[in-house]
Chain A
Amino acid sequence: MTALGSIHDIPLGEGRTYAVDGRMVAVFRLRDGSLRATQAVCPHKGGPLADGQIDLRQVLCPMHLNAWDLTTGCSLSGQQDLTTYPVRLDDDQILLGE
């Protein structure tokens, strides 16, 4: 379990990238207040997923607008699936991992 910092570092409805043990993880703060974490790099052409637009279900890569389900990591547009990570909130601290 890794503490990534305050939830207030991520604006509502946006994502930010964190380096965790040499991996890049994109953490998203959904508009219902919940968090999701996925690999940060788009498997299609390496786009920065944390710069993508999201809703309660999906993230769109800003490069070519491919879509993934934020919870399962499943591609919604015929690309490779994303690795997802468990993430939760403890007070206002973001905790990544089991």
Chain B
Amino acid sequence: MKQRLVVIGNGMAGARTVEEILARGGDFEITMFGDEPYGNYNRIMLSNVLAGVEDESGIFLNDLSWYADNGITLHTGTRIERIDRAARVVHAADGSTTPYDKLIIATGSRAFVPPIPGIHRPGRGYHQGVFAFRTLDDTRAMIRYAKEHERAVVIGGGLLGLEAARGLQNHLSHVTLVHAAGHLMNTQLNEVAGATLKATIEQRLGIEVVVDGMTTEILGKHAVTGVKLGDGRVIPCDVVVVAAGIRANSEMAAESGLAVDRGIVVDDQMRVEDDIYAVGECAQHRGEVYGLVAPLWDQAKVLADHLTGVNPYAEYQGSRIATKLKVAGVDVAAMGLKEPEHEDDESLTFTEPRKGVYKHVIIRDGRLVGATLVGDVRKYAFLMQAFDRGLALPEERAELMFDLGGPAGEVPVADMADDDQVCNCNGVSKGAICSTVQSGCRTVSGVMDKTRAGKGCGTCKPLVQRIVEWAAGGEVEEDPAASYYVPGVPMPKSELMNAIRLHELRSVSAVFAKLGGQEDAKSKMGLASLLKMMWGGDYVDERDARFINDRVHANIQRDGTFSVVPQMKGGVTTPAQLKRIAEVAEKHDVPMVKLTGGQRIDLLGVPKERLPEIWADLDMPSGWAYGKSFRTVKTCVGSDYCRFGVGDSTALGIALEERYQGVEGPGKMKLAVTGCPRNCAEAYVKDLGVVAIDGGKWEIYVGGAAGAHVRKGDLLTTVGSAAEVITLTGRFLEYYRQNANWLERTYAFVPRVGIDRVREVVVDDKDGIAADLDAAMDATVSTYRDPWKDRDEPATPGQFRTSLPLTVLPQVPVRA
């Protein structure tokens, strides 16, 4: 027989937990009890209903048919009065009893109404004109009453109070907000942030705000006529809305003998005692009672994992609370600490009172421990990640508050039109992303897979993420695969490398067989790169694991032909070399000859079957302009000819390219050496750039980029000789190869790890692994073989056979 699951509470926590259980295929006979006479609705949206921007019908999450479709017995308007733990039944107010095998308490919370004289009328409940703001019925009654009256006082300057004040403005002409504490939203914000918010709300919305205002009495004989404050002031009004916080609904649990403190006390599995669980605002976990929706989602998942046995050991570890809200039309975000606590906590503040902008971040030991944003929350996503994952912070601390040197300001997602193009590579509109989310795809990577948005150059990924978050209304699901090195093997890189070493997996198919279960085309290239780096000569090379570029050592073009870029170290060539290239281009009718950005010559439009012949005629080494590998070293003319040059950049560039040519890694590696800080070789924006400075010294910059993403590299160190540059280059590249995620360029890798940490390892050798890194790079360098030499015999049957259509589509025009 199926186990009987009884859920007390049909609010967001109860219904969400049941949804999660169903999503895991949980097989229970489910009965739910709701106090309110409705299906399940989104309580957060009540302020929109009050403000008239949302229709009542729009806030329902599950209508009654959902319960029927899923075989759930729903009792609305039925209050559970007692749990009989010994008999394992619950008693309802209507006298009925319902047995359970598993019980979930999700009774939520209710408005806290302070004991102010005059707030109640004996035998009538609230005084005429007084309202709490908690349920749909509260909201309806409030709207009805407010429409016929003129002046409202809202008691409570927290989130709910502010929303109530804003909403009431739509129904009557004058709203005053009275807050007992010294500043608005004092739970989330510090004093300055609260004051900034107050100024904006008063000036922009015309809501009068009174802080330090203790309400001592509600006045009026038959109906409300005003409120009296502690200082004797009287504010005349005919409507009073109480939004002074919430209290957990835990009385029923307490009377049934369960452990209750400020909420029903649960362990890390959300368990109160055997077979009885609690989730949501009624639960107290590790001393915390949460009043926001995000922790509730986390709790529901853990409980569902546990109850369905999908993961019986799932643990809820508490939530790091970060909130981003539009409070009465003003953007507010807060996470972690409100104020510095220790003497050596770093704290940065930016205020622009005219615009109502306040930004404040708190840093401890190089990690973000608190942030507050009012009026401008564009950096929220970035700060949230840094806070949540404890990421290294940018050297330039101001980047925590502003986008420096990045693209121009972000457009709010809500302001974008549906047909606005988001992904300019694959032509995906905002509307297409939103409809994918609405069809049920709620992970950023899932939406990217379905629409291909963000799958081109990748610059729009943050925007895609914001749109998905917006469209999902804060219900974005974390994609576990986001941390995997490749999608088909469920492990982050370091774990994967350990497993590969442990099981001595030397081929891509062996990795799938041992660790992935199923072969996955999207994972092959990343695994091939990783295995080749780890095993070097002992790597078992399966050609099908290679991307076409790596199978034929050339870069595929839009018409299926290839580009051939011979090596030209440091961008230096000779007349003889140029003649040879010219002859080859003529002999093979190469449709386009083009100078590349990496100071080389590109022969474009070469059919696959001609590649070996062209390599033979050129008789030059491969320039690797096709791989996730070391590409070029761009140089300036340096000290030999340039009258400004202070270092021989050309010679050093050539030496670097000679040593590290063809080294493969998680992403492209583009380098440059420039002979003076005028930076003609653009070394500041390379994966690794070297700048000669006066005094025979060289600066090494890492993590720069000038592609779809533009970033100036971070100064790794300054050294006194070219030999040191060569050693540190190898060590940095090896560190990058071993630690970066697949396709993670240095411009993402360096800021993720933090330049200080990179310097500790690569320059200062704090971890004592410098010699190992050098040895690993030495081994790679010493086994290097030019792939264009392997041209006499194809590596596989038909390696260079054409895969082109008979008619070449689309035809690339030949330029005269």
Contacts and interface: CB of A to CB of B under 8 A. Distances in A.
Interface string B537-573: 0000011110110010000101110000000000000
B348 interface: no
A77 B603 CA distance: 32
Contact of B522 (A16, A17, A48, A60): A60
Interface centre among A13, A49, A50, A54 (most CB of B within 10 A): A13
B806 A14 contact: no
A81 interface: no
A13 B545 contact: yes
B426 A64 contact: yes
A98 to B, nearest CB: 23
A41 B804 CA distance: 8
Nearest to B524: A53
Interface in B763-813: 796-798, 801-806, 809-810
Given A11-B544, A13-B545, A14-B544, A48 B452 contact: no
A55 B518 contact: yes
A84 interface: no
Contact of B805 (A12, A41, A54, A67): A41
Nearest to B509: A31
Contacts, number: 103
B520 interface: yes
Contacts of A46: 558-560, 805, 809-810
A31 B559 contact: no
Contacts of B452: 64, 66, 77-78
A31 B805 contact: no
Interface string B451-466: 1100110000000000
A45 B556 contact: no
A40 B560 CA distance: 12
Contacts of A54: 521, 544
Contacts of B522: 53, 60, 65, 67
Nearest to B808: A46
B450 interface: yes
Interface in B161-188: none
A22 B807 CA distance: 10
B560 A22 contact: no
B613 interface: no
Chain A CB within 10 Å, residue with most, of B520, B544, B806 = B544
B548 A52 contact: yes
Interface string A14-31: 111101001010100001
A13 B542 contact: yes
Nearest to A50: B803
B806 A58 contact: no
Interface residues of A, number: 41
B558 A10 contact: no
Contacts of B449: 77
B525 interface: yes
A11 B797 contact: yes
Given A11-B543, A14-B543, A16-B803, A77 B525 contact: no
B797 A59 contact: no
A4 to B, nearest CB: 12
A77 B448 CA distance: 10
Number of contact residues on B: which range applies? 35 or more
Contact of A17 (B450, B455, B797, B802): B802
B797 A24 contact: no
Interface in B667-701: none
Contacts of B559: 46
Contacts of A9: 797-798
B376 interface: no
B519 interface: yes
B798 A10 contact: yes
Contacts of B804: 17, 48
A56 B518 contact: yes
A47 B548 CA distance: 12
Interface in B439-487: 449-452, 455-456
A52 B452 CA distance: 17
A3 interface: no
Nearest to B799: A11
B544 A12 contact: yes
Contacts of A53: 521-522, 524-525, 544-545, 547-548
A82 to B, nearest CB: 13
Contacts of B519: 31, 55-56
Contacts of B796: 11, 14
A8 B521 contact: no
A31 B544 contact: yes
Given A17-B802, A54-B544, A45 B558 contact: yes
A46 B801 CA distance: 17
A51 B560 contact: yes
A15 B449 CA distance: 24
Nearest to B549: A62
A46 B560 CA distance: 8
B680 to A, nearest CB: 35
A65 B810 contact: no
Contacts of A52: 521, 548
Contact of A8 (B509, B518, B797, B805): B797
Nearest to B811: A46
A55 B542 CA distance: 13
A51 B548 contact: yes
Nearest to A47: B560
A89 interface: no
B542 A48 contact: no
B544 A13 contact: yes
A14 B544 CA distance: 5
A14 B560 CA distance: 17
A17 B801 contact: yes
B544 A65 contact: no
A67 B455 CA distance: 13
Given A17-B803, A41-B805, A46-B809, A77 B450 contact: yes
A62 B547 contact: yes
Nearest to B557: A63
Contacts of A56: 518-519
Contacts of B544: 11-14, 31, 53-54
Contacts of A65: 455, 522
Contacts of A15: 803
A13 B528 CA distance: 14
B805 A60 contact: no
Contacts of A14: 543-544, 796
Nearest to B561: A48
Interface string B708-727: 00000000000000000000
A12 to B, nearest CB: 6
A48 B798 contact: no
A25 B518 CA distance: 26
B803 A26 contact: yes
Given A62-B556, A63-B556, A22 B806 contact: yes
Contacts of A31: 509, 519, 544
8 contacts: A10-B798, A14-B796, A15-B803, A46-B809, A51-B551, A51-B560, A78-B451, A78-B452
Given A31-B509, A46-B805, A53-B521, 16 more contacts: A9-B797, A14-B543, A16-B803, A17-B801, A17-B802, A17-B804, A31-B519, A41-B805, A45-B558, A51-B551, A51-B560, A52-B521, A52-B548, A53-B525, A62-B547, A62-B556
**A-B pairs with the 7 shortest C-beta distances?**
A13-B544, A48-B803, A46-B809, A50-B803, A11-B796, A55-B519, A51-B548
